[in-house]
Structure 1
Amino acid sequence: MNFNKLYTFLRELQKNNSKEWMDANRNYYYEVRDSYISWLDKMDIRLAEVDPNYTHTTGKQAINRINNNLLYHPNKPIYKDHFGAGLDQETKQNDFYIHLGTSESFIAGGFYKPKSSILKSIRQAIDYNGDEFLEIINKPSFEKLFGNLVDYGDSLKTSPKGYGQEHRYIKLLRKKTFAVQHNLTQKIVTAPDFEDKVIEIYKEMLPFRSYLNQAVSV
């Protein structure tokens, strides 16, 4: 996979973010997209080798549309500034997400602003066994790769219904997003060992995602 070509395409697209330019460069887009899909297929196989519970997700299933949804976001440009893809799509929410773009590149996983029923299940799991969750996210190697949980500034100011202000896990229970992210540079993505880096991140993130998947499946 020529990731330099992927980044070059995205930069050119953002300079000419119009249907006319895309129509004139449709083959260019297909070449980059199809190459990325093939790479995702390869990663799908490699990830299944390191995780016996991995949910196979083809590149075509994983990759997101490059068009922005203008129905709900009419002020956005026609096309996104990135290629996004979610592998290991067991829940469609807690997938292993790879984001390669002109403004930022990263790998993330977890639940981003999940619906209330899922959020309720995660809080119940933390209430029941928050020590296990803390052990996962406080592990030195985990903190090195991801730092803290992603903070979108959407945490509750008070305690959620059914939990007191003095609850030992109140800071976690107030969260409305349970996700982690590892930022990437173009240099990292285009390096020969990028695939191995993806595997490293996946394996470190796995206990975190498994905990959340277990929480919402019971």
Structure 2
Amino acid sequence: MLETNITKSTFQFLNSLKKNNNREWFAEHKTGFSTESEKVKGFFNYVLEKLKSHDEIERLKVFRIYRDVRFSKNKTPYKSNFSASFTRAGSHRRGGYYLQIEPGNSFIATGFWNPEKEDLLRIRKEWEIDVTELVAIIENDAFKKVWGALEGEELKTAPKGFDKDDPNIEFIRKKQFIFIRKFTDKEVLSIDFAAQIDESFKLIKPYFNLMSSILTTNLNGESLLD
């Protein structure tokens, strides 16, 4: 069943879970978790249906509430958020969407989190040649108002094989190419939250189109797809 908005009870559950992050409490409140989880899944599916009206989506992945603590110093067993990703369909469509619901830390994110080695080199080679189209997209007033600046980890200096004095070095040294939009709790609980998410995702399309074009062609502009 689709849910058109996030309710206060979801925040109340997540706040309680954060304060009582242990297996005993969770076991006692498993029914409450199931109720809120299903409601949020319904909301994620509602966002999915909106996304499908302007993009091809292959898969919705709802992340588990259980944390993988094997290699973490933080041994709390549960996340204090509900989250999901939306995978674009087809090898010619690159980039993805992410949505997280958490009291005080709700946000959406898009872009390229950790590109594979070959993709990262291809992107850097493109920026070495020209960033004009990229800058035109990310410096657009409407785009910046929603998404802000390009974010992600970056090197302190130039990658191997690139000139540290290259005029486009601010882009070349990046390892991630992501945009994040944060939401207040009031915004998340508003009746137009799904619409705000969808309008934000629509605005990212020119960026996805550019990056998809780069990652599916060589430097001569020839397609790498069969």
Q: When the two structures are superposed, what TM-score results if normalisation uses the length of structure 2?
A: 0.85
State the shift of 1:106 in Å. 0.8
Greater gyration radius: 2
Counting helix residues as a fraction of each chain, which structure ranks higher? 1
Deviation track 1:153-207 (CA, whole Å, cap 9, x = no partner) reads: x421221122212322111001111101111011111111111111110011122
Following superposition, the deviation at residue 74 of structure 1 comes to: 4.0
SS in 2 for 1:110: strand
CA distance in 1, matches of 2:39, 2:64: 15
Q: Which residue in 2 is equivalent to 1:120?
A: 121
Residues 25-51 of structure 1: per-residue CA shift (max 9 Å, x gap): 111111111111122122211111123
Q: Distance in 2 between matches of 1:56 and 1:5?
A: 30
Root-mean-square deviation (Å): 2.1
Between the aligned partners of 2:63 and 2:144, the Cα distance in structure 1 is 28
Q: Which runs of 5+ in 1 are unaligned?
A: none
TM-score after normalising by structure 1: 0.88
Percentage of identical aligned residues? 26
**Per the alignment, do residues 16 and 202 of structure 1 end up closer, same or farther by CA in structure 2, a change over 3 Å counting?**
same
Deviates more, 1:163-172 or 1:208-217: 208-217
Question: Would you say 1:44 and 2:48 are equivalent positions?
Answer: yes
Query: Within 2, Cα distance between the matches of 1:7 and 1:123?
Result: 41
Q: Which moved more, 1:127-136 or 1:183-192?
A: 127-136
Inter-partner Cα distance in structure 1 for 2:9 and 2:110 = 26
**Residues 120 and 76 of structure 1, relative CA distance in 2, 3 Å threshold:** farther
For 1:126 and 1:94, the matched residues in 2 are separated by: 18
Local SS of the residue matching 1:86: strand
Tell me the distance in 1 between the aligned counterparts of 2:203 and 2:114.
22
1:130-174 C-alpha deviation (Å, 9 max, x unpaired):
2111111111111111211124xx421221122212322111001
* Residues 59-78 of structure 1 deviation map (CA, whole Å, 9 limit, x = unaligned): xx421111111112142421
Secondary structure at the aligned position of 2:85 is classed as strand
C-alpha distance in structure 1 between counterparts of 2:209 and 2:72, whole Å: 33
Helix, strand or coil at the partner of 1:200: helix
1:207 and 2:206 are equivalent in the alignment: yes
Preserved contact between residue 6 and residue 188 of structure 2 (Cα < 8 Å): no
